[in-house]
Amino acid sequence: MLNDPRTHGLWAKTAPAAPPTTPLTGDRTAEIVIIGGGYTGLSAALHLAKAGRSVILLEAKDIGFGGAGRNVGLINAGMWVMPDNLPGELGETHGERLLNLLGNGPQTVMALIEQHGIECELTRSGTLHCAVGDDGLKEIEERARQWQKRGAPVELLDAAEAERRIGTRAYRGALLDRRAGTLQPLAYARGLANAAIKAGALLHTGSPVIGWQARGERHIVSTGTGSVTANWVIVATDAYTTGPFETVRREQVYLPYFNLATTPLSDNLRRSILPEREGCWDTKEILSSFRMDARGRLVFGSVGALRGTGTAIHKGWARRALAKLFPQLGEVDFEAEWYGQIGMTDNALPRFHKFADRVIGFSGYNGRGISPGTVFGKVLAAHVLGELPEADLPLPLTEPTEPLMRPIKEAYYELGAQIAHLAGDRF
């Protein structure tokens, strides 16, 4: 994408082609203008267009350019925060609403994929949260207890069952979440775009928003080559935000994350490593994630950016880590490499903002974009349609606030990941 193989790596190589789009030109009108062509914006566009509303979506680069086209592809339920802690963070009402909404989020994603025939390598085999050491085991035991008391279909696996499902003896156990699954993230974004266009939405790429102003009861959103006048503005740009709503980006701390993809593994290796194709991540502070794609490539990632000295450090660490996890792999060849940024909020929870009357958006997905992005897009559409009052939204209204020492924290995360990976890591 944009002639840079390190932005989207394997996903750009294997995703179906994006729908044909053009930059916005001239002055247009619509009922709703959406800024951002990731999961939230595309989901909102699809649901609004299906309801018969006129929608124009503006994307600065390409469909799925941000986190939607770079993530590892885990369709997770919930957020990083323990379920019992959400009511304490958000209040009882919003905490329970968010738990229910995001707990069922993977089901919403999978239903959309089925309904619109989106080809995105969907698997329904669940995800595995892998316990590193005694502390990791305690963490997943507590997470399992909290989800199970809410009736969620999660199962705590012992070390032997974790080894059978994953193909390594590295973990003390794992938490299997049967609600979850995996997909090809860029293919999913492009599939949502196709579905939105078929429903009647107009999508313009290469159209960065550079201005916004209110004029009476309407809003004018402008790019360098045109403008859209609309009744509603949905801001769906999250960690890659620039332009008039850059406060969304500034309230988050960038956490760099990279992925490497091996060449397709042999049939024998595929029978011993993730034979049921669950998506995995571990309990370490500098976490790792891994999964298998449809052609048997092992996708392996961790915190860090593939630039400068980080490129050699992280790739060298990945080879050593894979050798420890899966000795049966032998020497591995990486077919693709890419990295991006995860936007982290202070409390690791998303935010709902109202920038002006009828100018709204959710943001701050903290590395959990597929399910929350899709669900929140649907929620925003329901709110615009008058079906969901503000008082019934899953998050309270908050003002964007910039965390203290944000640039220093970002530099620390990038350098800290290099130091940790240079020093080695244990499983």
Question: What's the pLDDT at 423?
Answer: 87
Question: What's the pLDDT at 3?
Answer: 73
- Listed in sequence order, the residues at least 6 apart from 359 whose beta carbon sits closer than 8 Å to its beta carbon are 212, 219, 232, 233, 235
Residue 127 · residue 180 · CB < 8 Å: yes
Question: What's the pLDDT at 404?
Answer: 87
Question: What's the pLDDT at 426?
Answer: 55
Between the CA of residue 232 and those of 35, 46, 359, 391, what are the distances in Å?
11, 15, 6, 18
- Element (H or E) spanning 262, and its range? strand 253-262
- Listed in sequence order, the residues at least 6 apart from 224 whose beta carbon sits closer than 8 Å to its beta carbon are 208, 210
Considering the entire predicted model, what is its pTM?
0.97
pLDDT per residue as tens, the chain (427 positions): 667 888 999 999 999 999 999 999 999 999 999 999 999 999 999 999 999 999 999 999 999 999 999 999 999 999 989 999 999 999 999 999 999 999 999 999 999 999 999 999 999 999 999 999 999 999 999 999 999 999 999 999 999 999 999 999 999 999 999 999 999 999 999 999 999 999 999 999 999 999 999 999 999 999 999 999 999 999 999 989 999 999 999 999 999 999 999 999 999 999 999 999 999 999 999 999 999 999 999 999 999 999 999 999 999 999 999 999 999 999 999 999 999 999 999 999 999 999 999 999 999 999 999 999 999 999 999 999 999 999 999 999 999 998 888 889 888 889 999 999 998 765 5
